[in-house]
Amino acid sequence: MLSLNDARLRWNQIFDNFSSASSLKQAISEQLGAEDPCVAGLRSVCWKLFILYPSYTPQLWVPELRVHRSTYEALCTEHLTLIRGGTLGAPDIDPLAEDEGNPWEQYRLDVELRAEIMQDVERCMPDIEFFRQPTIQTKLCDLLMVYCKSADGKSLGYRQGLHELAAVLLWVVWNDAVEVKPPEEEKLETLDEKEDLMEVVLDGRFVENDTWALFCAVMKHAKEWYDAGPEGQSGCAPIVAKSKYIHEALLMATDPELAMHLKALDVLPQVFLIRWIRLLFSREFPFEDLLKVWDALFAEDTDLHLVDLVCVAMLLRIRWQLLEADYSTALTLVLRYPSPLDTPPATFVEDAIYLRDNLSSEGGNVIIQKYSKRTPSVASSNSRPTPPSRRRFAGRSTQQRTLSPSKSWTPASGIESIVQDVAKNVLSQSQRWGVNRAVRGAVEVRRSLAPSPGPPIPHPKNISSEEQELVKQNAKLIKRIAADEERQRTLARILELGMQAVENGNHAEGTRRLSHVKECLLDLTKVVNRSLLQQHVPVSLPGSPSPPLLSSPPIGTDDQGISATRTPNNAASGRPVIKKVAISPPGSFVKASFKNNSDPDFLSRTERPRTTLAQSSFAWMLGDDPAEKIKSSFVPKDKQGKRTGEAAKGKDGSMKANDIEDDVVDLGELGKMKGPL
Amino acid sequence: MPAIKKPMLKVIILGDSGVGKTSLMNQYVNKKFSASYKATIGADFLTKEVLVDDRLVTMQLWDTAGQERFQSLGVAFYRGADCCVLVYDVNNAKSFDTLDSWRDEFLIQASPRDPDSFPFVVLGNKIDVEEGKRQISQKRAMTFCQAKGGIPYFETSAKEAINVEQAFEVIARNALAQEESEEFSGDFQDPINIHLENESSGCGC
């Protein structure tokens, strides 16, 4: 808390020296040192002006401040009365009645919630004595509880880390507060002097209220970082998608060498970015430095979008260490971030602003050079500067997977072994399988390209034809992977049904399903018989030419395309057979969204319907698939064309020729795929 | 990781918030205890080199946030784990009751090749707290571990360094055994080799 005199000096420091919010923001971005309005003036007032009350004139925002304060009082009454030992309603209510309206039930939940919050509050910022005071801990706990129980945070509930965001805000508001003598309250209604205004704004009795208001404002944008994602599904949390975006798009754009290195090390970005982002870097820098980072952040960007690029700037600052690091060292660097010694951490925000306007490897180089006086090596800057991938690597949308080839599925002989092996691994392993093939194909293409200097983010319009080819091939790989995934999912389901049937004693039906799964796993071109997905399988005679395989609908929905492939058996006759090839429904494999992404076209471009690689003349890229080999390498080009023609005729013409033309992917995908190899 | 390097054992420590996961890890690695560790956000990581039967191995210890419940780290984080340490607080019955779901969820996330033989170790922490506060008896914990296929169980105090070293020795040993068994089966399941072999035949059947 400040003395009235000190507070007045500081208050005047702001309102006498800075005539507008923009001049105030300007002053903060210039890092004036002792003149900094957040240091010499009042940080809490600056923050309130930046994120809570954009109108600069106190006479205009003080009424809003009053509304906030009374709202908080009301919420406290609503949500804290019970736990503070208030009335539990009529005395005749049975405390054990499992009735939703039973206040005792609510009381029990409140006690649990409070204990959960208090556990974190008690160990919050252990080095700062301020937070050890019971009154401060109670304030922090109360305001967190109100947030978690009221409309703002009810959907989120309490999440670890919220306590630390609130703690920083509380510290700042408390430090600037003044003790106001009660009689002053009478004068509040007739405000017209600066001095009175100041006392109202800094009134120590409302520290908790004001902190809560600031906290809600920060949480408006930070909330989704804490969102756990869809119930029961892991890895779908928005923070994971955000981390991936920071790594694979933003870092890839500014420092492809570093992005690929981290990828090659298999350092998962969310492992460290969860903490960096959720706590707004509060564990990464010393407290005083942290406050300046927040000053700069709030001054520049109240929506906190800049946070992503602050992370990139932090990675660029340690890029040389990271490039030399092995897995453990790299993780240690990012999880125990070496706070810069000679430059204040607020420069990360400055760098982030620069990167926002120069999101390219040139921009990245400027930042790297600025602090290390070293430029990324010729080799890395000469090789194609990998552009930011604005497109998700579709095959990895719902499940992350390792690209390690060492643990994959191998063809097994008997049904038993298939059941044992496949039941556990069918999804993940075969996905890896598909990805491996795709990655190898992509890397081959990439290697065959001579490095040529180009613009940092080539737009589809001005890239060379060679690159366009590469881009197309990449797009098709992605499609193929998606189709593979869909196929595996269907197989997994059939397998499950088969096992159920066996368990239920229906061996014939079970065996039919299991052997079909086996066949499909052994022969990648075999069309999955979707009729097996139904509980009662239509009977078909064993040994018959298996018409259901040809006549059953293809995997996925009706509007999918068809494509011609040749089964190995037919290869000898030279007569192509038209078969339906699984294509996942449009956009179905792009599940993890980037809804928190600031780039609006990012998402829309990921949701285009795609055809599979198998349908294209680039099917040779799936080299290690025997059937595909036959189709692509052993058949002259004209025949491939013919098959495509037949396919188009074969059904409703849903194989869209223009899919290939307009489906342009950024080159970044290839860069990303190269990483783990 | 290149095969010539010394084995890297990935150990993941799970359990409810506040049971002492961070404390145990720091006691083991840094031989230090602090009464005021901050709540872990996301995950944390420490490594330690240890000798297991005269073999030098690196343990990669992953401390996780108790509240996270697998939601944010993603399956990739859990994959390739060689041992999972389940921690509860002997003075907190609820943290014991959740062990089972921690175990189940871990198996789903990590999807080890053979879930039944995947090594877990259970640690009942905070045994330094006065006896009157204890809620879970040693017998009860051991019964649970027995029922789950004989999971090794240790009662520990990160604060007073009781049993920490011993527990992690078993963790390292079991993790190494797991790593070796995975390596063994992995060699035979290289999909690329299989396909290269098949390539010449021209037939996928």
- Looking at residue A288, its amino acid is E
On whether residue A419 sits in a domain, the answer given is no
- Does residue A629 sit at the B interface (CB-CB below 8 Å)? yes
Distance CA B180, CA A212 (A): 53
Residues 6+ apart with CB under 8 A from B157: B125, B126, B127, B128, B163, B164
Q: What is the residue whose two structure tokens read 């017998």?
A: B139
- Does residue A4 sit at the B interface (CB-CB below 8 Å)? no
Q: How far is B178 from chain A (nearest CA, A)?
A: 14
- Examine the domain organization and report whether A267 and A212 are in the same domain: no
Cβ–Cβ below 8 Å for B204 and A159: no
Chain A 396-415, CB below 8 Å of chain B: which residues?
399-402, 405-411
Residues 6+ apart with CB under 8 A from B17: A116, A119, A120, A160, B39, B65, B66, B67
Q: What are the chain A neighbours of B188 within 8 Å (beta carbons)?
A: 410
- Examine the domain organization and report whether A56 and A163 are in the same domain: yes
- Examine the domain organization and report whether A269 and A361 are in the same domain: yes
- Does residue B94 sit at the A interface (CB-CB below 8 Å)? no
For residue B62, the chain A residue with the least C-alpha distance is A271
Q: Which of A241-250, A435-444, B4-13, B123-132 has the lowest mean pLDDT?
A: A435-444
- Examine the domain organization and report whether A8 and A135 are in the same domain: yes
- Residue A406 in this model has a pLDDT that exceeds 50: no
The torsion angle over the Cα atoms of residues A82, A87, A88 and A93, rounded to 10 degrees, is 180
Q: How far is B186 from chain A (nearest CA, A)?
A: 5
Tens-digit pLDDT profile for residues A321-346: 999 999 999 999 999 999 888 888 99
Q: How far is A676 from chain B (nearest CA, A)?
A: 11
CB of A647 within 8 A of CB of A660? no
- Examine the domain organization and report whether A212 and A271 are in the same domain: no
Task: Give B48's strand partners.
Answer: B59
Which has more pLDDT, A590 or A6?
A6
Domain that holds residue A483: 476-532
Q: How far is A626 from chain B (nearest CA, A)?
A: 5
DSSP per-residue letters across A23-47: HHHHHHHTT-GGG-TTTTTTHHHHH
* A205 DSSP assignment: G
Extract the tokens encoding A531.
């009729």
Could you tell me the CATH number of the domain that includes residue B142? 3.40.50.300
Distance CA A595, CA A229 (A): 12
- Residue A640 in this model has a pLDDT that exceeds 70: no
CB atoms within 10 A of CB A147: 25
What's the whole-number mean pLDDT along residues B51-57?
92
Q: What are the chain B neighbours of A624 within 8 Å (beta carbons)?
A: 192, 195-196, 198-199
Domain total in chain B: 1
Distance CA A214, CA A270 (A): 27
- Examine the domain organization and report whether A287 and A220 are in the same domain: no
- Residue A47 in this model has a pLDDT that exceeds 50: yes
Q: Give the CA count within 13 Å in the CB-facing half-sphere of A527.
A: 27
Range picked from A58-62, A159-163, A228-232, A580-584 for highest mean pLDDT: A159-163
Which has more pLDDT, A638 or A366?
A366
On whether residue A538 sits in a domain, the answer given is no
- Does residue B75 sit at the A interface (CB-CB below 8 Å)? yes
Give the CA distances from residue A93 to residues A9, A100, A109, A596, in Å, rounded to whole numbers and listed in that order: 57, 12, 17, 46
Q: What percent of chain A has pLDDT over 70?
A: 58
- Examine the domain organization and report whether A208 and A299 are in the same domain: no
Note the Cα A545 to chain centre separation in Å.
48
Q: What are the chain B neighbours of A161 within 8 Å (beta carbons)?
A: 39, 41
Strand ordering across the sheet containing B120-125: B43-52, B55-64, B8-14, B83-89, B120-125, B153-155
Q: How far is B25 from chain A (nearest CA, A)?
A: 15
Supply the mean pLDDT for chain A: 71
pLDDT value, residue A185: 52
On whether residue B65 sits in a domain, the answer given is yes
Question: A9 burial class (0-12, 13-18, 19+ CB within 10 angstroms)?
Answer: middle
On whether residue B3 sits in a domain, the answer given is no
On whether residue A423 sits in a domain, the answer given is no
Distance CA A236, CA A225 (A): 12
* A159 DSSP assignment: -
Question: Which among B81, B90, B101, B100 is positioned nearest to B145, based on CA atoms?
Answer: B100
Q: What are the chain B neighbours of A278 within 8 Å (beta carbons)?
A: 41-42
What's the whole-number mean pLDDT along residues A411-419?
41
Domain that holds residue B83: 8-187
Cβ–Cβ below 8 Å for A270 and B67: no
Distance CA A312, CA A322 (A): 13
pLDDT value, residue A464: 56
What's the whole-number mean pLDDT along residues A291-304?
93
Question: Which among A57, A56, A11, A60 is positioned nearest to A37, based on CA atoms?
Answer: A11
Chain A 238-297, CB below 8 Å of chain B: which residues?
239-240, 268, 270-275, 278-279, 283
Chain A 26-55, CB below 8 Å of chain B: which residues?
none
Tens-digit pLDDT profile for residues A56-106: 887 888 889 999 999 999 999 999 988 887 665 555 666 666 666 677 888
For residue B195, the chain A residue with the least C-alpha distance is A624
Extract the tokens encoding A177.
């507060």
On whether residue A603 sits in a domain, the answer given is no
Q: What is the residue whose two structure tokens read 């079970």?
A: A510
- Does residue A439 sit at the B interface (CB-CB below 8 Å)? no
On whether residue B137 sits in a domain, the answer given is yes
On whether residue B2 sits in a domain, the answer given is no
Cβ–Cβ below 8 Å for A571 and B202: yes
Range picked from A259-263, A496-500, A665-669 for highest mean pLDDT: A259-263
On whether residue B180 sits in a domain, the answer given is yes
- Does residue A136 sit at the B interface (CB-CB below 8 Å)? no
Cβ–Cβ below 8 Å for B191 and A432: yes
Could you tell me the CATH number of the domain that includes residue A270? 1.10.472.80
Tens-digit pLDDT profile for residues A447-505: 444 344 333 333 434 445 666 666 667 777 777 777 777 778 888 888 888 888 877 87
CB of B13 within 8 A of CB of A133? no
Distance CA A594, CA A397 (A): 11
Distance CA B148, CA B167 (A): 18
- Residue A122 in this model has a pLDDT that exceeds 80: yes
- Examine the domain organization and report whether A368 and A247 are in the same domain: yes
Which has more pLDDT, A66 or A401?
A66
pLDDT value, residue A277: 97
Question: A14 burial class (0-12, 13-18, 19+ CB within 10 angstroms)?
Answer: buried
DSSP per-residue letters across A393-453: -GGGSS------TTS-----SSHHHHHHHHHHHHHHHHHHHHHHHHHHHHHHHHHHSPP--
pLDDT value, residue A467: 61
Give the CA distances from residue A210 to residues A70, A169, A171, B5, in Å, rounded to whole numbers and listed in that order: 10, 9, 11, 56
Cβ–Cβ below 8 Å for B192 and A228: no
Cβ–Cβ below 8 Å for A271 and B42: yes
Domain total in chain A: 3
Q: Which of A75-79, A189-193, A532-536 has the lowest mean pLDDT?
A: A189-193
On whether residue A487 sits in a domain, the answer given is yes
When CB atoms are compared, the residue of B40, B70, B189 closest to A410 is B189
On whether residue A546 sits in a domain, the answer given is no
* Residue A116 confidence class, pLDDT cut points 50, 70, 90: very high
Q: How far is B204 from chain A (nearest CA, A)?
A: 5
* Residue A623 confidence class, pLDDT cut points 50, 70, 90: very low
State residue A631 phi and psi, 5-degree precision.
-65, -45
- From the candidates A160, A284, A398, A566, which should be mutated to test the interface with B, based on the most B CB atoms within 10 A? A160
- Examine the domain organization and report whether A22 and A128 are in the same domain: yes
CB of A528 within 8 A of CB of A520? yes
* Residue A547 confidence class, pLDDT cut points 50, 70, 90: very low
Most distant CA atoms of chain B, gap in Å: 73
pLDDT value, residue A231: 62
Q: What is the residue whose two structure tokens read 């090594």?
A: B119
3-state SS assignment for residue B190? coil
Q: For chain A, what percentages of helix, strand and coil (3-state, to nearest 5) are there? A: 60, 0, 40
Which has more pLDDT, A308 or A664?
A308
Cβ–Cβ below 8 Å for A627 and B67: no
pLDDT value, residue B147: 96
Cβ–Cβ below 8 Å for B109 and A239: no
Residues 6+ apart with CB under 8 A from A586: A559, A607, A608, A609, A610
State residue B127 phi and psi, 5-degree precision.
-75, -5
pLDDT value, residue B86: 98
pLDDT value, residue A90: 57
The torsion angle over the Cα atoms of residues A302, A304, A306 and A309, rounded to 10 degrees, is 170
- Examine the domain organization and report whether A16 and A131 are in the same domain: yes
On whether residue B40 sits in a domain, the answer given is yes
Which has more pLDDT, A493 or A401?
A493
CB atoms within 10 A of CB A67: 10
Tens-digit pLDDT profile for residues A198-256: 999 999 999 999 999 999 999 999 999 998 877 655 557 899 999 999 999 999 999 99
- Residue B92 in this model has a pLDDT that exceeds 90: yes
pLDDT value, residue A556: 36
Cβ–Cβ below 8 Å for A228 and B72: yes
Tens-digit pLDDT profile for residues B117-133: 999 999 999 999 998 99
Q: How far is A22 from chain B (nearest CA, A)?
A: 35
- Residue B15 in this model has a pLDDT that exceeds 70: yes
Distance CA B163, CA B146 (A): 20
pLDDT value, residue A405: 33
Which has more pLDDT, A315 or A24?
A315
- Residue A660 in this model has a pLDDT that exceeds 60: no
- Examine the domain organization and report whether A39 and A138 are in the same domain: yes
Q: What are the chain B neighbours of A274 within 8 Å (beta carbons)?
A: 41-43, 72-73
Q: What is the ipTM of this complex?
A: 0.88
For residue A677, the chain B residue with the least C-alpha distance is B1
Cβ–Cβ below 8 Å for A525 and B186: no
- From the candidates A140, A234, A284, A422, which should be mutated to test the interface with B, based on the most B CB atoms within 10 A? A234
When CB atoms are compared, the residue of B42, B109, B191 closest to A274 is B42
Extract the tokens encoding A601.
């076209």
DSSP per-residue letters across A98-142: --TT-HHHHHHHHHHHHHHHHHHHHTSSTT-GGGGSHHHHHHHHH
Range picked from A141-150, A341-350, A653-662 for highest mean pLDDT: A141-150
Chain A 146-205, CB below 8 Å of chain B: which residues?
159-161, 163-164
CB of A192 within 8 A of CB of A229? no
Which element (helix H / strand E) includes B86? strand B83-89
- Residue A191 in this model has a pLDDT that exceeds 60: no
* A461 DSSP assignment: G
On whether residue B70 sits in a domain, the answer given is yes
pLDDT value, residue A431: 39
* Residue A189 confidence class, pLDDT cut points 50, 70, 90: low
Which has more pLDDT, A71 or A606?
A71
Of A352, A372, A392, the residue that ends a domain is A372
On whether residue A551 sits in a domain, the answer given is no
CB of A48 within 8 A of CB of A299? no
CB of A77 within 8 A of CB of A145? no
Give the CA distances from residue B191 to residues A283, A335, A395, A432, A612, in Å, rounded to whole numbers and listed in that order: 43, 35, 18, 9, 22
CB of B56 within 8 A of CB of B94? no
* Residue B41 confidence class, pLDDT cut points 50, 70, 90: very high
- Residue A572 in this model has a pLDDT that exceeds 70: no
When CB atoms are compared, the residue of A279, A327, A424 closest to B111 is A424
- Examine the domain organization and report whether A17 and A144 are in the same domain: yes
On whether residue A524 sits in a domain, the answer given is yes
Distance CA A249, CA A475 (A): 17
When CB atoms are compared, the residue of B76, B199, B203 closest to A268 is B76
Q: What are the chain A neighbours of B187 within 8 Å (beta carbons)?
A: 406
Q: What percent of chain A has pLDDT over 90?
A: 39
Q: What are the chain A neighbours of B67 within 8 Å (beta carbons)?
A: 159-160
On whether residue B161 sits in a domain, the answer given is yes
3-state SS assignment for residue B73? coil
